[in-house]
Amino acid sequence: MFNYITFNTASEILCFLTAVICLSGNKNNVWRLFIPYLFVTVFAEITGIYLRNQNQNNQWPYNILLVFQILFPGLIFKQLLKDYIKSNVIIISGTALLMLLFIYETAKHGFLRFNNTTYSVMCMLYVLYSLYYFYLLLNADDHVVLKYSAKFWWAAGTLLFCFGSTVVNVFRGLLSGLIIGDHNLTYYIYSMLNMILYSCWSYSFICRKWLTTTSGV
C-alpha cells in the first residue's frame, strides 16, 4: 500500500480531499467539477504506479488523464476570462487544437504511448492563458484582494506548473542524465512543481469556500 503513497500522489490526494470539503456545496457547477477531475487524477496516478510495479506499460492511463487535462482546465479558464472578455472563441479554439493534436499523435504511435507533444503544447497554451488572465486582471478597474481570490491562486498554480513543465520538456535530455539517489533530476523537479500546483489549488478552494465572501472577490 505504501508503494502508492508517493510525493505526487500525496499532494494530489490532499488536494482532492480539500476539494471535497470546500467545493461539495459550491453553487458554481464548474468549480464542483474539480472533485471528479481530481479523483480521475489520483486514480490515473495510482493505476500508473500499479502497472509500473507489475512491469507493464503504464503510459496509457496518463493519456486518459490528458484528455481530462485538455477539457476541464479550459472550462476554468473560461470562468477566469469571461469577467473581462468574451472568451468562447479563445477557449474553444485552444481545446479543439489540443484534441486534434491528441488524435493525430494517437493515430501515429497508438494509445499505449504517452502523447508528449500534446502535453507540451497544452502546457504552453495554459501558460499563455494564465498570463493573459493576469494581464486582464492588472488592467481591470475592479479592485481584487489577491490573497483572497480563488481565481488568482488557481491561475498562479497553473502558470507555475505549466511553465516549469515546459522548461523541463525543453531540457529533458540534459536533466534526465542527472541522477540523484534513486531518481533523475526531472523526478524531483516534477515533485516540486506538483507540490506548488496542488498547494495553490488547495488554497484557491479554501478561498472559494471561506474567504471570498469576506473579501468581496
* pLDDT tens series, the chain, 217 aa: 557 788 889 999 999 999 999 999 888 899 999 999 999 999 999 999 999 889 999 999 999 999 999 999 999 999 899 889 998 999 999 999 999 999 999 999 999 999 999 999 999 999 999 999 999 999 887 778 888 899 999 999 999 999 999 998 887 766 666 666 666 778 888 889 999 999 999 999 999 988 654 444 4
What is the rounded CA–CA span in Å between residue 51 and residue 110?
18
Name beta bridge partners: 184.
179
- Classify the C-alpha dihedral 164-114-109-69 as positive or negative: negative
pLDDT at 214: 43
- Looking at residue 34, its pLDDT comes to 97
Q: d(Cα 157, Cα 206) in Å, to the nearest integer? A: 14
d(C-alpha 161, C-alpha 165), whole Å: 6
In contact, 11 and 198? CB cutoff 8 Å: yes
The residue type found at 167 is: V
pLDDT, position 176: 65
CA atoms of 190 and 170, how far apart (whole Å): 14
Specify the pTM. 0.90
